[in-house]
Amino acid sequence: MTDSEKIVITVESDLEDLVPEFIEHKRENAEEILGCLQKGDYEKITMFGHRMKGAGAGYGFDFITEMGKVIEQGGKDRNDEQIKKSVDDLVAYLGRVEVVYE
Amino acid sequence: MELLEFLDSNTLDNLSKDIADKFNLFISKHYDIPFTIVDRDGKKIISSSEKKWGGFNLSDSVRNDLDSGKQYALEKKNGSIYELIIGLRVDGSNKGFLSCEIDFSDKTFLQFSGHSEESTKETMVEMIVAYVSRCCAFFEEQENLKKCETRVKHSENALDVLRDHHQEIAVENIRQQEELENKNVQLQEKQAQLEDYGRNLEKKVKERTKELLKQKERAEEADKLKSQLLANMSHEIRTPLNVIIGFVDLVLSDELSDNHRNYLEKVKRNGALLLALINDILDLSKIEANQVKVEKIPVDLENLCEEIYSNMNTLILQKGKNIEVRKNFCPETKNYILTDPVRLQQVITNLIGNAVKFTDTGFIELGTSLPKGDHLLFHVKDSGIGIPDDKQDMVFQTFQQADMSTTRKYGGTGLGLAISRKLVELMGGKMWLESKEGEGTVFYFTHPLKVHSSPALLKQGNAKKETPEKEVLEEGVVKERRILIAEDSPDNQLLAERILTKYGYEVFLANDGREAVKFFKEKRAKIDLILMDIQMPNMGGLEATGIIRDMEEKKNLRKIPIIALTANAMKEDMEKYLAGGCDDFVAKPINRKLLLSTIKNYLK
């Protein structure tokens, strides 16, 4: 799998109107986390991670739940490198994801 | 006697004197003392120094006479001269003898008799022998006296010996005493040594105990970590599995080709089996790590049994089987008993699940009885395939079913009975089975019958389901159910709202615990249930739940059902939420079916 390949995610059609907003939120979250990282606000980073963890798979995005866990732990550990890497992975994932509604 | 008749006493005395003169001096001596017997003229007759018995020239006839016990012998020497030999006897044996020559023609003798020479001779001999005998008796006496003296002397010696002995004993006593003292000292040394060992041992035991305690702590810590790991792992496995099952469920609710439906149902069934297996492994590992604690709260047993009975009917309907469902409860079932309702239900449900699995026709019966005063006996009886005799023990072991083909044909994890038996034992009972192949099986288990007399103290476990129903009755209207979602994540707010509104619920939102409490305070009547996220900023879900429960208590309000939403799915966490006032919990990320069924439980 190369970076340019799409990742196809199937989501229930009744969530169709929610998903684009959800993905957009995650992009914003990624920016916010990087902002927090500059300010050293790890508490907020932990919170963002926790929310991602609790929401991702509910929408069908297990990867986002996984990233949420790593970011939450990174925030707790104040591990800048881990946080930054996870955010990069998240942004890359969001760029490649293609949602199919069924 | 004849002699006495013709000898007057004077003559006899003179005669005696005469003979005495001849012997007296010498014979009065002890034989051992050298003596010589001499005749009247001083002529030597015999000397003891010759010490001869045989050296003495005795004729054969004399010797024979003496040897055969005669006291004397008389031997003719020359004319009227005879030699008289007298045995000197002591204790009946000859010790020596004396001899003297007697001239029987001697006028001295003849004067006595006037009779013949021969008769005078015999009388004379007899007299001499009698005299010698008397002398011998005297000697014998002397001899005895002497022996006495010797004995006395010996006794004196013995006394000396005794005295010596006594002294020896005294010396020995002192020696023994010294030895004893030595031994005593040695003993004291040994005792001191022992005490020292004792102290050392005590010290060593203390050290070892400390070490063991440390090891125990480490082992317990490792056990706890293992349990934690298992719990986490099961959560990690459960989350994606739930997503898989959830999605399959959703797909199955759409229109599908028969082929696709068939495949997806297989996926769903296997997913569910895998989920059950994970749950069972988690359960079993916790029981084995002694982490499962059974509760003892008052439970309306009849209510519980009826509920299980009703579920049993539903299960059989679902399976499409034509089985008669029976119940057979004893009067004691009407009591409130102290038990762990969740675990008791788990055990009975497992037994019923097995019965339904292995029974195609006939009946299944759930019943109770009271064979002994202090234990209720539960039974689940079926008319199913039964278990062969040699497999009956096996079914209680982990991962064992009666037959490997059973798993393929009937499914199941093979852990259910092992878990059930352990739970029954934890609750203070025993579990066993009776079965006949082809006829059916009865599973029995006992449960201590501890009756609780005050139902007023019942925990919410039994009471919770009454709440919404009562509310409906009291308010008199059946209304649209309204739910407050306290959740800080906008994504989950939206998701929960979407799911709930789709199923006809009216939804209110609170962004954190504080908002939830505020909403409850102001608009309590507007909501029927709260979905409470646990981890929220400003005020967490547990804190908010605590405040709400306090308010209800103060104002004597009916308790509103609160379902915890949580991304922490470990059992310890769940127990914490329940203890904190939540009625139930749903793990995040949200599984729509689980969320809906849980809410439905509280809003019938």
CB within 8 Å: A53 and B567: yes
Residue of A nearest to B496 (CA): A58
Most B CBs within 10 Å, among A9, A10, A12, A48, to test the B interface: A12
CA distance A51 to chain B (A): 6
The half-sphere exposure of B18 on its side-chain side, counting CA atoms within 13 A, is 12
Other CB atoms within 10 A of residue B95 CB: 17
Calculated CA dihedral for residues B300, B305, B308, B313, nearest 10 degrees: -140
Cβ distance of B537 and A60 shorter than 8 Å? no
- Using a CB-CB cut-off of 8 Å, the residues of chain A touching B489 are 51, 54-55
Closest CA to B481 of B494, B497, B468: B468
Alpha helix stretches (DSSP H) within B253-364: 258-288, 301-319, 341-357
In eight-state DSSP terms, residue B48 is G
Is A70 within the bounds of a domain? yes
CA distance A21 to chain B (A): 9
Average pLDDT over residues B494-514: 89
Query: Which residue of chain A comes nearest to B252, CA vs CA?
Result: A102
Q: Which residues of A touch B246 (CB under 8 A)?
A: none
Report the distance separating Cα B338 and Cα B449, nearest Å: 8
In chain B, which residues have their Cβ closer than 8 Å to the Cβ of A65? 239, 589
Six token digits for residue A75:
């925030």
Residue B98's pLDDT band (cuts 50, 70, 90): low
Number of A/B CB contacts below 8 angstroms equals 63
Q: Please answer yes or no on whether B491 and A55 come within 8 Å at the CB atom.
A: yes
Task: Please judge whether B533 and A58 are an interchain contact, meaning their C-beta atoms are less than 8 angstroms apart.
Answer: no
Whether A22 sits inside 8 A of B489 (CB atoms) is no
Please say whether the structural domain B295-457 has been given the CATH code 3.30.70.2080.
Answer: no
Question: By the CB < 8 Å criterion, does A98 face chain B?
Answer: no
- Three-class DSSP category at B462: helix
Q: Do A47 and B494 touch (CB under 8 A)?
A: no
pLDDT for residue B454:
46
pTM passes above 0.90 = no
Name, in order, each residue with C-beta under 8 angstroms of B511's C-beta and a sequence gap of 6 or more. Answer: B486, B487, B488, B493, B536
Strand partners, B313: none
Share the mean pLDDT of chain B: 75
Q: Looking at the partner chain, which of A15, A57, A102 has a beta carbon nearest the beta carbon of B589? A: A57
Q: Does residue A5 fall inside a structural domain?
A: no
Q: How many CB atoms lie within 10 A of CB B516?
A: 31
Q: Give the domain extent around A61.
A: 12-101
With bands split at pLDDT 50, 70 and 90, how would you rate the model's confidence at B473?
Answer: very low
Is A54 in Cβ contact with B250 (below 8 Å)? no
Q: Are B470 and B411 in contact (CB under 8 A)?
A: no
- Could you read off the pLDDT of B554-586 as tens digits, one per residue? 888 889 999 999 877 666 787 888 888 999 888
**Is B38's pLDDT higher than 80?**
no
Closest residue of chain A to B591, computed from CA coordinates = A58
A11 touches chain B (CB under 8 A): no
A96, part of any domain: yes
Select the residue of A12, A18, A56 nearest B494 (Cβ to Cβ): A18
pLDDT for res A74: 94
pLDDT the model gives residue B20? 47
* B519-553 tens-digit pLDDT: 999 888 889 999 999 888 889 999 999 999 999 98
Put simply, whether A55 touches B (Cβ < 8 Å) is yes
Q: Do B254 and A102 touch (CB under 8 A)?
A: yes
State how far the Cα of B552 lies from the Cα of B530, in Å rounded to an integer. 14
Question: Which pLDDT belongs to residue B334?
Answer: 83
Contacting residues of A for B498, CB less than 8 Å apart: 14-15, 18
Q: Which CATH number fits domain B464-602: 3.40.50.300, 3.40.50.150, 3.40.50.2300, 2.40.50.100?
A: 3.40.50.2300
Of A10, A25, A47, the CB nearest to B491: A25
Please count the structural domains in chain A: 1
Structural domain spans, chain B: 1-219, 295-457, 464-602
Peptide bond into B589 cis (omega under 30): yes
At residue B52, the pLDDT reads 40
| Complex ipTM more than 0.85, yes or no | no
* Cβ–Cβ gap B491/A102 under 8 Å: no
Domain membership of residue A1 (yes or no) is: no
For residue A3, is it within any domain? no
According to the model, what pLDDT value does residue B415 have? 80
Residues of B in contact with A102 (CB under 8 A): 251, 254
pLDDT of residue A49: 92
The DSSP secondary structure of B516-545, one letter per residue, reads HHHHHHHHGGG-SEEEEESS-SSS-HHHHH
Which of B239, B489, B494 shows the shortest C-beta gap to A57? B239
Q: Which residue of A has its CA nearest to B487?
A: A51
How far is the CA of B291 from the CAs of B227, B231, B370, B391, in angstroms?
9, 12, 31, 30
Strand arrangement, sheet containing B506-510 = B506-510, B482-486, B529-533, B562-566, B584-587
* Interchain contact A65–B (C-beta under 8 A): yes
DSSP H or E run through B76 = strand B72-78
| B239-274 tens-digit pLDDT | 677 777 766 776 776 788 988 888 888 888 888 878
Say whether A26 sits in a helix, a strand or coil. Answer: helix
Contact B498 A15 (CB under 8 A): yes
Low-confidence stretches of chain A (pLDDT beneath 70): 1-5
Task: Work out the pLDDT band at B59, boundaries 50, 70, 90.
Answer: low
Q: What is the distance in angstroms between the Cα of B576 and the nearest Cα belonging to chain A?
A: 19
The answer as to whether A91 is a domain residue is yes
Q: Token pair of B354, please?
A: 């097995």
Cβ of residue B240 closer than 8 Å to a chain A Cβ: yes
* C-alpha radius of gyration, chain A, whole number: 13
| Confidence grade of residue B95 (pLDDT, cut at 50, 70, 90) | low
- Determine the 3-state secondary structure of B344 from DSSP: helix
pLDDT above 90: residue B494: no
Instruction: Report yes or no: B601 at the A interface, CB cutoff 8 Å.
Output: no
> Mean of the pLDDT values across residues B4-27?
46
Other beta carbons less than 10 A from residue B594's beta carbon? 14
Confidence of residue B12 (pLDDT cuts 50, 70, 90): very low
Contact with chain A for residue B251, Cβ under 8 A: yes
CB contact under 8 A, A62 and B243: yes
Residues of B in contact with A55 (CB under 8 A): 489, 491-492, 495, 588-589
Q: Which tokens belong to B603? A: 């809003």
Task: Collect all residues of chain A within an 8 Å Cβ-Cβ radius of residue B588.
Answer: 53-55, 58
Q: Which of A10, A58, A65 sits opposite B495 (nearest CB)?
A: A58
pLDDT at A54: 87
